[in-house]
Amino acid sequence: MKFLGNVLATVIGIFVFMMLSFFGVILIGAIFGGDDKVSVKSDSVIELNLKQINNDYAGKYKDPWVTVFSDKKGVGLTDVINAIEAAKTDDKIKGISILNDESSLGLAQYKDLRNALESFKKSGKFVWAYSNTYSQKEYYLTSVANKIYINPAGDLDFKGLSSEIMFFKDFQDKSGIHMEVIRHGKYKSAVEPFLENKMSDANREQITALLNSIWSTVSSDISKSRNIPLDKLNQIADGLLARTPEMAKAQNLVDIVAYEDVYHNAIRKALKVDADEDYNKISILDYTQNHVTTALTDTASDQIAIIYAQGEIASGEGDVNVIGEGSMRRSLQEARKNDDVKAIVLRIDSPGGSALTSDLIWREIEITKKVKPVVVSMGNYAASGGYYIACNADKIFAESNTITGSIGVFGMLPNFTPLANKLGINSEQVKTHQNAANYSPFVPIDEKFKAFTLEGVEKIYNTFVTHVAEGRKMTFEQVDAIAQGRVWSGTEALKLGLVDKIGGLNDAIAEAARIAKIKKYSTQNYPEYEKKFNELFANMPFAKSKETFIKEEIGEENYQLIEQVKKFQKQKGVQAVLPFQISIH
């Protein structure tokens, strides 16, 4: 036993030594590693691939250890767009190459990026694109290019938009796991998959209208860039007339069918570089990092604070993927109290979440706008709780294909009574008062408890609608008529009065400056998250091994189904969230 103990102690000692050595090397490199800035050579081309860009904002941290061990090249889409704007007047940059772009960004974010590339082209510099294959979303971005190349063995996806929703009613009946649903709003169909086996007419109506509106924006932009009539584009989509590289070229969706080496040779020729020499290039991440570092030297005393609200809304601190009241309220308070900050832009990309947290953030905005102007910029989503925290701003901007509205709430509780009965499990409660017992998933739902919960849902819905009515200067009845949980595109929301203007983040910043009556200003990004050093390990590969293993065994789609059920089970309190799990293809 003593021998085994000594062996175990030796193994642990070696492991601890290796871990300390590993982190020591990283720390020394972080401290003494020097400047990460990559020099930009003359006649350079920016290579644009957004695979590593996931959010508008990459995040900042109060804990310096978190900063040291975070990815130093972590930049957000906003940084990329600002860098592209700077590249217009950078004499060393001759063009942008969109090369095999793969990204998880949404259509509204692509719209903002597309506008930046369109502006870049007007400087006289080129934007070219090459890809082995083009998804429909990737082609939407790429269609802005002066020249579009495609691999002869590749393909182009151009077929219109669709959305698929899974229904779990039969699964519940067979498994014995039921979801007790309490909702307000005929379009509040986040819970519909647990109630029905098929899509309701109201849900089909709103999804159809949403997809048509988004397609209108996508096809109009492509039509303008490629000089193809809209009717023709719809014919191409209906008939899949661009499914091969040759067909895509015949329809004028691409310009040249060739391999990647031909593409690079063409860039060499445009730059007047010898065929046997490589041309100068810099990745968009490196170029953006250079610009971010340079931008920190801006000496303008007046500032506009940009507060990023990304992800689902939940209690707690939050992070770059979760909107928490901790980081959001602290950011609003800091910006409000900072005399250098003259206006605030709230950038929202959220399908909603906790109604309570949404209300806490709404209240902080209400206090803030009495001191300084608050302008909202909507990204891919500003729906339900995402719209809740937007509705009282001085001005609201949305992209034409932003998904917004969804003014409605619901509550949902898991109930395992049928499953328990099948397994021979019986649960009974003893209580001193009629309503003393908490909700139990192992007994049938009490109708009085259900009535009290519905009362709470109705109260939050009325509060939500009242906030919107006051913020948008509408009557309760006017808001209620377009609420009921229905979602709208940015274009539709503008017509309904839910937003003020169509435009991106930079448009919102310009409006904030106008309201604040300032001309020269710098921007300051928030939140600065209070993430602890030990929380970094949650994202290490060994912490994700179980997730990766399950995905490999059962497949991505089945894993997402399980995760969706788990997510609903974890939600606490009344929810103001997007009315359906939408994935646009």
CA–CA dist 326, 345 (Å, integer)? 18
d(CA 174, CA 180): 16
Task: Give backbone dihedrals phi and psi of 101, rounded to 5 degrees, phi first.
Answer: -65, 130
State the SS3 of 410-464: EEEEEECHHHHHHHCCCCCCCCCCCCCCCCCCCCCCCHHHHHHHHHHHHHHHHHH
Provide the pairing of β-strand 487-489 with 403-405.
antiparallel
Report residue 264: phi and psi, to 5°. Answer: -65, -35
Is 384 assigned a catalytic role? yes
> By the 8 A CB rule, do 80 and 141 touch?
no
Q: Single out the catalytic residue among 331, 384, 406, 489.
A: 384
CA 345 to chain centroid, in Å, comes to 17
State how far Cα 203 lies from the chain centre.
23
Cα–Cα distances (Å) from 460 to 23, 464, 572, in that order, read 49, 6, 14
557 CB-near residues (< 8 Å, 6+ apart):
none
CA–CA separation, 585 and 165 (whole Å)? 12
Pairwise CA distance, residues 536 & 539, whole Å: 6
Q: Please pick, among 137, 188, 369, 372, the residue that the annotation labels catalytic.
A: 188
**579 in Cβ contact with 381 (< 8 Å):** no
C-alpha of 310 from chain center: 6
Answer yes or no: 422 catalytic. Answer: no
First to last CA, the chain: 61
E strand spans, 77-158: 93-99, 126-134, 147-156
In sequence order, the 6+-apart residues with CB closer than 8 A to the CB of 468 are: 387, 391, 407, 474, 479, 483, 498
Pairing of strands 322-324, 318-319: antiparallel
**Kindly report the CA angle at 46 between 43 and 48, in degrees rounded to 5?**
165
- Annotated catalytic residues are 188, 384
